Amino acid sequence: GAGVSQSPSNKVTEKGKDVELRCDPISGHTALYWYRQSLGQGLEFLIYFQGNSAPDKSGLPSDRFSAERTGGSVSTLTIQRTQQEDSAVYLCASSLAGTSTETQYFGPGTRLLVL
């Protein structure tokens, strides 16, 4: 079946502009994760959604970052007033039920460049 998809694949924006990144998880997966992959930083957790529960936002680096998940499926990560340090690859992952032993399935990522 289809895997996790993300759009756009690449995004170039100017400092100060807002951007929206989209993630379509695997159908039937109730858990959805956002990570950020920066040069030399590895992957950092940003936010986690599980079903109708309140999201775990503990990884969001600032209040310029927000995310929502509508209808328990598609998720949008929004970065307001982008800064150059926001340049990174943003990865979305989903898993069946969010348990600790499950495999997370990753999308190809959105490469964001802030000029």
Partner 1 sequence: AQSVTQLDSQVPVFEEAPVELRCNYSSSVSVYLFWYVQYPNQGLQLLLKYLSGSTLVKGINGFEAEFNKSQTSFHLRKPSVHISDTAEYFCAVRVPGANNLFFGTGTRLTVIP
- Rule CB under 8 A: which residues touch partner 1? 3-4, 33, 35, 40-45, 48, 50, 56, 58-59, 91, 93, 98, 100-101, 103-109
Report the residue number, 50 or 82, with the smaller CB distance to partner 1: 50
- If we measure between CA atoms, which residue out of 7, 67, 2 comes closest to residue 29? 2
Q: Name 110's Cβ contacts closer than 8 Å, sequence gap at least 6.
A: 6, 7, 8, 9, 10, 11, 21, 89, 90
Report the residue number, 16 or 51, with the smaller CB distance to partner 1: 51
- CB 91 to partner 1: min, Å: 6
Report the residue number, 50 or 75, with the smaller CB distance to partner 1: 50
- CB 42 to partner 1: min, Å: 4
- CB 90 to partner 1: min, Å: 11
Report the residue number, 79 or 107, with the smaller CB distance to partner 1: 107
